[in-house]
Structure 1
């Protein structure tokens, strides 16, 4: 009879250890999930910041060309033409 009790005690002990390990893994998983979400948010913020800097860079290139820089004249002309077409479209929409 003692042998069965020892086996049951051993099983209970092992089950207790497994349950404890499970709890630790759940906590670790939860922590990692929070870190993942924070990292995703940081990536989104960095993408927005990058896009803002790219817009500023493009505006600076256009401004430099307008001021007389020969580097980006073609791009600036295309951008100005696109803006003129957009304005013409808006005027046409308002006329209707």
Structure 2
């Protein structure tokens, strides 16, 4: 009977060693996966910041493009402003009288 117990204990020890070995292997793999995850999260944050910066630049370009008017429009705008200034000057002159 003691021989049977020894066989059971020996089989248990083998299974326990195998389990401990797998546990250590999984711990190493888990550590590596955590490091990979940290790197990926950092890469993702950098990419997100780049996307935000590109969107901001795109919005600025759109705004600049919309503000960019033709030479003809500039001339017309200057003439309208000059006309308004003359009218304001006339009003001020009338108020001074």
* TM-score range relative to shorter protein: 0.5 to 0.7
Relative to the length of structure 1, the TM-score reads: 0.68
1:36-55 matched pairs, under 5 angstroms: 36-55=37-56
Question: Whose radius of gyration is greater, 1 or 2?
Answer: 2
**Structure 2 regions of 5+ residues with no counterpart?**
71-97
- Residue 81 of structure 1 corresponds to none
- The one of the two structures with greater contact order (alpha-carbon pairs below 8 A, sep at least 6) is 1
Shift of 1:68: 2.2
Over the aligned positions, Cα root-mean-square deviation in angstroms equals 1.3
Aligned residues: 69
Moved over 6 A (4+): none
**Structure 1 regions of 5+ residues with no counterpart?**
70-96
Relative to the length of structure 2, the TM-score reads: 0.67
